[in-house]
Every structure is written in C-alpha cells, then in structure tokens.
C-alpha cells in the first residue's frame, strides 16, 4: 500500500506529503477504503456520493477476500505457492552460485567454482517447428554415401533432387572407405583417384563440395525442407559432423527449415509392410527396380515415391524434425557421456541420466550443486520444476541420496 502511494521512482522523502502518504496507508489498512470520506467529512467537505459508493464496494470485496482466505482451500493454495517460490529461489541460487559478494572478483577460488552458472531448464528434444514455413517449404530429397556406418564417417557422394533443381558430387574422403561400404556403394579410392563401378569419376574436396551444396540450397526462393530415408538415425548426423568440422553448420541452417524422415512417414502411411527399406517401398508401391545405393538414383526415385504415394503435404509437419535436430542430438550425447562412470557404478540409471542430459545437464553441474549446498543443492537442481510444472530430472529422495553418495565420495 505504501509503495503504491509513495513509489521509489519519485522523491517524497524530503517533502511534507510523505507523512500524509504514510498516514493514508495506515488508515487504509486499519479502517478500510471509507477513510477518504471520513477525512473529508471531518474537514467540513462533502464526502462525495461516488467516493462512498466506490469505497463501500471495495470494502465488501475486501471482506469477501478475507473470509475466503480463511478457508482450507485458500490456506493449501498459499502453502503450495510458498513451497513453489521457495523451491524456485533455491534452484536459482544453486544454478547461479555467488554472483554478488564483497571483493568476489579478487577471490580466485570463488571465481573458478562459484561464478560458474549451471544451465537453466531446457528441453532439447522439443524445439518447436514453424508449421507454416514447413508446409510452404520447397521439397528437396537428399542422400549421401559414406566411408562406413559410423556417424563420424566421411561423405563420398552427396546428391539432392527437387522439382526444379538438382545437385550431385563425389567427395574425396580423408579416411579409408571400409570394404563393406565399397561393396554396397561401388565407390573406392586408388591413390588420388576415385572410382564408381570401376569408372574414374570427377570429385571435389569436402570443403568445396559442402560449399557448393549450401550454394545450391540458397538458390531456392525460401528455406527448403530436406527429405531423406532413415536420415533421422544416420544421414543428418553424418552431414552435421562434416559441416561442423568445416565450420559451415550455422551457414547451412540459414537455408534449411527442417528435415523429414520418410522411413517414419511410410510406416504411418502404409502400415503392416514386412520391410520399409527404400528398395522394398519402391518395389511394392511403384512396381519398379533401380540402382540402389547410388545417391543420384536414390534421390530421384525417393522423390517420385514421396510425391505419388507418401501423402506428403498432409503428413509433412507430423514427421518433420527441426533443423537443429542433429546438433541437439550431439549435445545430448556429449552430456550423456559425462554420466558414463556414474552409470557403470549404478549411481544413476541410464534413463535418469538421459533425462538430465536432455535438460542440458552434465555430471559436472551436479558436482557443482553438491559443492554449493550439499544434498540440498543437488535436490534443488534435480527437482527444479519447469514453467509447465514438470520435474527437471527427479524428486525421488532415494535416487538423489544414491547419486549424492557417489558424488560425495568422488
């Protein structure tokens, strides 16, 4: 009440009006809103009918609120809100550490540990899509052949196909092509020459080829959607790793709005098939055969398959992934790797560690929480609630105690 009548933004402390403002706040608290009319009457002024009517209405509302505040439901609500505020304050203090203290900048031991900020809640797996942008985006089918089955493999062939523009290039790898990959793709290297089906092919180095691919994507009038088969589990991650190595990921993201995996799409559109490999889908749905595991042919036939049998426009939003998906997966995996020792020691379950990783926590963050406030700090961090009310990791006392014992010993 006093802040409303004498706000800090205005200087009343050296004026006579401050006393009156404080007095009016006390009267309002003790006597109710009718004090204005009573003051007017005592000074020989008209109390004012509108003033009396309004004060009577506000006093009635105040009386009802007081009666409501005495009920069990209201008391439970106040207790719950107090607990929520206390929990939020505690988790925020643990995450921020010491940010304000006398001579804090001169204390090296404080600077190293206490000034480090633990990331706030972030559900990495639920990045929103711009649905309208995805629906209107140009459809570009892409495919790549690699040196092996690892997500850190090099790309040996990259192709993209759309209704109006096409792209294709061979890329000279920096690592050896596995025997299995060569048998499937018929791509191999001998000295400084690349071969496909025993025929020498023109190739480019990775940086040049990826630059050309980005230029190709930028030629579309708006951000495109990259569509491929089984790209959620493999192709997007290989592409991200190669772009990241050459510091080109951010530039790539400027021209792509989303990815779409046709493997999940066709499992929904055509349920009950014995196999959902691209060759099986083409054979069963189009009645055709083609030169599989050649990126150029793969993209052309997949475009036809998606447009003719995929019911693409109706399903594109449901089966699309944000362009940040491979980067987010990389971050989650990095976070999860920090928990490997704790998982092996059975201090935390893999599912619980994965949940922590998805909320952008590493094991070092949990250690920091323990350093700042022991088991209470760990509990405040793991049981922190999001704006939607969900727990960040866990509030189970047994789980938190077990993890605290491991971190404390460590």
Instruction: Determine the topology of domain 132-322 in CATH.
Output: Nucleotidyltransferase; domain 5 (3.30.420)
DSSP notation for 281-343: HIIIII-----TT-HHHHHHHHHHHHHHHS-HHHHTTTTEEETTHHHHHHHHHHHHHTTHHHH
Looking at the DSSP assignment, which residues form a beta bridge with residue 130? none
If we measure between CA atoms, which residue out of 281, 265, 262 comes closest to residue 273? Answer: 281
Q: What separation in angstroms does the CA of 84 have from each of 69, 80, 97?
A: 19, 6, 20
Tokens of 323: 């362009």
Quickly list H helices, 43-178: 49-69, 72-96, 108-113, 131-136
Q: Give dist(CA 307, CA 401) in Å, integer.
A: 55
Q: What is the pLDDT along the chain (410 residues), one digit of tens a residue?
A: 899 999 988 888 888 889 989 999 999 888 888 888 888 888 888 878 888 888 889 989 988 988 999 999 999 999 988 888 888 888 888 888 766 566 656 655 545 556 678 888 877 776 677 888 999 999 999 999 999 999 999 999 999 999 889 999 999 999 999 999 999 999 999 999 999 998 999 999 999 999 999 999 999 999 999 999 999 999 999 999 999 999 999 999 999 999 999 999 999 999 999 999 999 999 899 888 887 778 888 999 999 999 888 788 888 888 999 999 999 999 999 999 999 999 999 999 999 999 999 999 999 999 999 988 899 999 999 999 887 788 999 999 999 999 999 998 76
Residue 346 Rama label (left phi>0; alpha psi -120 to 50; beta): left
Give the start-to-end residue ranges of the domains of the chain.
Answer: 111-123+330-409, 132-322
Q: Give dist(CA 191, CA 382) in Å, integer.
A: 54
Greatest CA separation for the chain = 110
Tokens of 238: 């290989």
- Does the pTM surpass 0.75? The reply is no
């Amino acid at each position: 009440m006093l802040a409303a009548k004498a706000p800090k933004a205005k200087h009343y402390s050296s004026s006579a009006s401050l006393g009156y403002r404080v007095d009016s706040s006390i009267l309002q608290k003790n006597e109710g809103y009718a004090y204005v009319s009573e003051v007017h009457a005592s000074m020989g002024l008209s109390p004012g009918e509108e003033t009396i009517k309004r004060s009577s209405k506000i006093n009635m509302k105040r009386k009802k609120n007081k009666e409501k505040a005495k009920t069990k439901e209201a008391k439970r609500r106040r207790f719950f809100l107090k607990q929520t505020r206390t929990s939020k304050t505690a988790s925020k203090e643990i995450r921020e550490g010491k940010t304000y203290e006398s001579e804090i900048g001169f204390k090296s031991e404080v600077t190293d540990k206490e000034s480090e900020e633990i990331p706030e809640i972030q559900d990495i797996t639920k990045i929103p899509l711009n649905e309208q942008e995805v629906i209107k985006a140009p459809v570009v089918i892409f495919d790549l052949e690699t040196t092996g089955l690892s997500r850190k493999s090099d790309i040996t062939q990259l192709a993209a196909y759309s209704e109006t523009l096409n792209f294709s290039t061979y890329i000279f790898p920096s690592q050896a092509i596995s025997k299995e990959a060569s048998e499937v793709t018929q791509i191999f290297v001998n000295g400084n020459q690349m071969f496909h089906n025993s025929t020498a092919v023109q190739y480019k180095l990775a940086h040049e080829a990826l630059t050309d691919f980005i230029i190709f994507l930028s030629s579309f009038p708006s951000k495109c959607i990259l569509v491929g088969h089984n790209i959620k589990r493999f192709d997007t991650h290989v592409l991200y790793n190669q772009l990241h190595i050459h510091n080109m990921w951010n530039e790539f993201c400027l021209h792509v709005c989303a990815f779409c995996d046709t493997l999940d799409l066709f499992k929904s559109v055509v349920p009950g098939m014995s196999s959902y490999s691209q060759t099986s889908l083409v054979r069963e749905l189009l009645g055709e055969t083609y030169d599989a595991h050649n990126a150029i042919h793969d993209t052309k036939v997949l475009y036809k398959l998606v447009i003719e049998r995929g019911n693409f426009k109706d399903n594109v939003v449901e089966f699309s992934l944000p362009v940040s998906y491979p980067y987010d997966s990389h971050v989650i995996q990095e976070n999860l790797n920090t928990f490997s020792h704790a998982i092996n020691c059975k201090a935390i379950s893999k599912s619980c560690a994965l949940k922590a990783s998805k909320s952008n926590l590493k094991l070092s963050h949990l250690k920091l929480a323990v350093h700042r406030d022991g088991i209470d700090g760990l509990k405040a961090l793991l049981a922190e609630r999001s704006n939607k009310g969900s727990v960040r990791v866990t509030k189970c006392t047994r789980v938190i105690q077990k993890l605290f014992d491991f971190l404390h010993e460590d």
